């Protein structure tokens, strides 16, 4: 009720002015700060001239768990945030994390961002952003805390499922449409966690040791694209230190790079609990403070929010003369600008919640993100004409995955499990039988939301495997749904995985089932890579991700062949943990300084440099049809004074069904004066081809695609010399290449 009341302040102010003198008030009669026809910066100037010192301080820190104050006296409403990035978080109490008990705060869960990145399709990203933005808008949220674009450095990072993979170019291209889609609803996208939040262990105390080239070439590009191309209105600081400063108040990250080099005009919001020092928060670029550990009533304060660093402690420093209001006014200006873009935006749409369109969008994105990793003997798709019995094995076939995992945990209107989705699709055409196979995480609730399941099973490992083997022997096709879940030390905020292997004795289960059938399909439900020691014994392997509300229907559609898989991996699956740079030359998971010793060699860059074969490569993904690549050519007429060239390659569908292929462009610098990765992704295009159809795919390569960051000059440099354009279906599957010279 309080939120609704404050949201009506602007309307009330207009009505009050209209009532005076009995005349209808036109917009020209409004003060500038309330007049939507006045340019925003002028409205901000007018509002600031009317605000008291106390009112200015009130709007730069939280007043509740998820809101900051407006200026009631001036009819400026509150600002409300919500967790994302896969759905709109359920309502909690004003001062506490407990559920508020609403019955209308359900949502559609969209696929995790790893699944979105696996689509390699910017249209899917735009659909995702627009859809989740509509849900946020309908729920009266002004800021969506997402998307996340931290780079996938290690497969043990518990929060990788919330991010967009290991490659800065892929993440950059995918984040821009998401941000634009969200903000088309008058809801700010708050891109997180800026920057170098690449582990959850010791996330509040670890200090990332990263050189400038690695920082600019690997860990900053997606954030930069979100700001300079996507026009993001908000950025969330990270928990970790960088060069001795907390990321939420880092002069280098926030003042010099974000606001200086990139010209960011939005608001820097602290992560909840990410602010630690008043003076640094004042001077080092933080604008809006949330979640500091003095909030609520648990600390015994009448109003714990006044104890925030940007509240009374800051005010006292201004009153004492140690600080002027220069920094304060800059913060207030940015917060007001955010308000005019969101809570004060009179032109934003109404949004919608749990609509048929959003459910369909969730399923479409999920289907397109599913990756077919292996398909020996064409086990997939399942042919119901030849299949009478399908055995489904594994806890992940039935366990709800929208509940848990940290701040992205959701309260969904529905979640279709893989088992339910298969039964829906198969109907009476085949018998579907189920065996548990393993018992993992039997918890079904998180932060007051319960999936309503009862997963308790006290049978021994031997009993569970024996049942699974027996069921497998009776079936024509066997599907094991395994992988990770949203429990601590799996795919979950605030903890990292213990190792690359599957938990809960799944490896023994899969090996045993593989001996019982030749038609085994393994579906890996996770947001991370896992080891697969049994890979040669399993003919078909699918990466199924966390797919949200429509998970089961999306998976069934691909497994049964209704949808042709077209996803590609957004990160590398290593054979073993030491096949990754972070666990071979760098550090991961420790407290204090964490040295990024692998430097630029993240993901496939490491595999190339060290000649290490992956289990499944970055960019890998199969189809139910086949594609043939022709020879790549350079269009000599496209070369111009700025050095851009166009590379074209024909791609043909040589199979018997329509499919989509992701054509990938990598660039190799053959004459670099500095160390550069063997090749780097610099372009991709997803093309749909009917059987027998050929399309020419073209990429424009400009100086930016050829550049590296010169840390001595502190600028991007494209050197003269020979380059190679490599076009292929994956980072380890280059089909054709062509050289050219930058003069």
Q: Where are the alpha helices (DSSP H) in 64-121?
A: 113-118
User: Which residues, in sequence order, are CB contacts of 455 under 8 Å at separation 6+?
Assistant: 395, 398, 399, 439, 441, 442, 443, 444
Residue 1 tokens, joined: 């009720």
C-alpha span between 477 and 473 (Å, rounded):
9
C-alpha span between 103 and 697 (Å, rounded):
50
Q: Where are the alpha helices (DSSP H) in 475-505?
A: none
At residue 15, the 3 state secondary structure works out as helix
User: Which residues, in sequence order, are CB contacts of 122 under 8 Å at separation 6+?
Assistant: 173, 174, 176, 177
C-alpha span between 606 and 528 (Å, rounded):
18
From start to end of 131-231, where are the E strands? 143-145, 188-194, 207-209
CB atoms within 10 A of CB 171: 27
DSSP at 24:
P
From start to end of 459-506, where are the E strands? 477-483
Q: Regarding beta strands 449-450 and 267-269, do their DSSP bridges make them parallel or antiparallel, or are they unpaired? A: unpaired
CB-neighbour burial class of residue 302 (10 A; exposed 0-12, middle 13-18, buried 19+): exposed
C-alpha to C-alpha distances, 422 to 386, 428, 562, nearest whole angstrom:
16, 11, 12
C-alpha span between 409 and 445 (Å, rounded):
10
C-alpha span between 234 and 159 (Å, rounded):
21
Of 152, 230, 58, give the one whose Cα is nearest residue 605: 152
Q: Report whether 551 contacts 366 (CB < 8 A).
A: yes
C-alpha to C-alpha distances, 11 to 7, 25, 43, 186, 394, nearest whole angstrom:
8, 12, 17, 18, 55
DSSP at 109:
P
CB-neighbour burial class of residue 386 (10 A; exposed 0-12, middle 13-18, buried 19+): exposed
| Per annotation, catalytic residue among 271, 287, 441, 496 | 271
Phi, psi angles (nearest 5°) of residue 374: -155, 145
Active site residue 211: no
Of 255, 194, 215, give the one whose Cα is nearest residue 714: 215
Q: Supply the residues annotated as catalytic.
A: 271
């Amino acid at each position: 009720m309080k939120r609704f009341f404050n949201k009506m302040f602007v309307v009330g102010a207009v009505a009050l002015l209209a009532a005076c003198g009995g005349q209808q008030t036109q917009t020209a009669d409004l003060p500038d700060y309330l007049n939507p026809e006045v340019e925003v910066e002028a409205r901000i100037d007018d509002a600031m001239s009317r605000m008291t010192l106390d009112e200015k301080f009130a709007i730069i820190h939280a007043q509740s768990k998820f809101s900051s104050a407006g200026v009631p006296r001036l009819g400026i409403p509150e600002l409300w945030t919500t967790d994302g990035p896969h759905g709109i978080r359920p309502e909690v109490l004003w001062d506490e994390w407990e559920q508020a008990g609403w019955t209308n705060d359900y949502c559609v869960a969209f696929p995790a961002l790893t699944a979105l990145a696996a689509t390699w399709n910017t249209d899917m990203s735009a659909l995702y952003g627009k859809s989740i933005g509509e849900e946020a808008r309908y729920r009266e949220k002004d800021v969506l805390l997402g998307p996340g674009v931290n780079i996938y450095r290690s497969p043990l990072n518990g929060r990788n499922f919330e991010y967009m993979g290991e490659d800065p170019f892929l993440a950059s291209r995918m984040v821009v449409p998401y941000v634009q889609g969200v903000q088309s609803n008058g809801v700010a996208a708050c891109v997180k966690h800026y920057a170098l939040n690449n582990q959850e262990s010791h996330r509040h105390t670890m200090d990332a040791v990263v050189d400038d080239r690695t920082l600019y070439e690997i860990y900053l590009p997606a954030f930069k694209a979100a700001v300079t191309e996507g026009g993001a209105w908000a950025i969330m600081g990270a928990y970790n230190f960088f060069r001795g400063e907390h990321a939420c108040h880092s002069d280098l990250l926030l003042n010099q790079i974000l606001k200086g080099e990139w010209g960011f005009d939005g608001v820097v919001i602290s992560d909840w609990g990410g602010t630690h020092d008043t003076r640094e928060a004042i001077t080092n670029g933080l604008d809006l403070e949330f979640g500091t550990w003095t909030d609520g009533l648990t600390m015994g304060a009448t109003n714990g929010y006044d104890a925030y660093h940007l509240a009374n402690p800051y005010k006292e420093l201004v009153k004492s003369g140690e600080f002027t209001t220069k920094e304060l006014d800059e913060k207030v200006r940015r917060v007001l600008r955010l308000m005019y873009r969101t809570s004060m935006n009179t032109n934003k749409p109404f949004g919608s919640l749990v609509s048929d369109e959003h459910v369909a969008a969730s399923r479409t994105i999920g289907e397109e993100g599913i990756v077919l990793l292996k398909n020996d003997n064409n086990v997939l798709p399942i042919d119901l004409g030849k299949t009478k019995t399908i055995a489904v094995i594994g806890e992940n076939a039935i366990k709800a995955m929208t509940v848990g995992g940290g701040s992205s945990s959701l309260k969904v209107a529905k979640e279709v499990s893989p088992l339910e989705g298969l039964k829906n699709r198969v109907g009476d055409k085949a018998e579907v039988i189920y065996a548990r196979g393993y018992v993992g995480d039997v918890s079904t609730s998180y932060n007051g939301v319960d999936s309503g399941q009862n997963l308790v099973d006290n049978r021994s490992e031997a009993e569970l495997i024996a049942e699974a083997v027996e069921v497998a022997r009776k079936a024509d096709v066997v599907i094991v749904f395994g992988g990770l879940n949203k429990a601590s030390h799996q795919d979950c905020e605030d903890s990292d995985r213990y190792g690359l292997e599957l938990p809960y004795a799944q490896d023994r289960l899969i090996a045993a089932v593989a001996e019982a059938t030749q038609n085994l399909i393994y579906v890996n439900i996770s947001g991370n890579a896992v080891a697969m020691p049994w890979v040669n014994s399993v003919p078909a392997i699918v990466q199924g991700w966390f797919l949200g509300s429509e998970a089961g229907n999306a998976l069934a559609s691909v497994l049964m062949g209704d949808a042709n898989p077209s996803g590609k991996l957004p990160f590398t699956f290593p054979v073993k943990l030491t096949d990754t740079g972070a666990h071979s030359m760098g550090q991961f998971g420790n407290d204090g300084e964490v040295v990024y010793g692998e430097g630029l060699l993240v993901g496939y860059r490491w595999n190339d440099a060290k000649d290490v074969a992956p289990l499944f490569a970055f960019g890998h993904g199969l189809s139910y049809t086949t594609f043939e690549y022709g020879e790549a050519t350079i269009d000599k007429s496209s070369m111009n004074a700025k050095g851009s060239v166009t590379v074209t390659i024909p791609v043909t569908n040589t199979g018997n069904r329509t499919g989509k292929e992701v054509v990938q462009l990598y660039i190799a610098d053959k004459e670099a004066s500095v160390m550069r990765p063997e090749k780097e992704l610099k372009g991709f295009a997803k093309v749909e081809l009917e059987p027998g159809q050929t399309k020419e795919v073209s990429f424009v390569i400009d100086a930016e695609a050829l550049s590296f960051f010169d840390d001595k000059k502190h600028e991007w440099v494209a050197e003269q010399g020979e380059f190679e354009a490599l076009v292929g279906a994956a980072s380890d599957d280059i089909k054709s290449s062509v050289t050219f010279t930058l003069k």
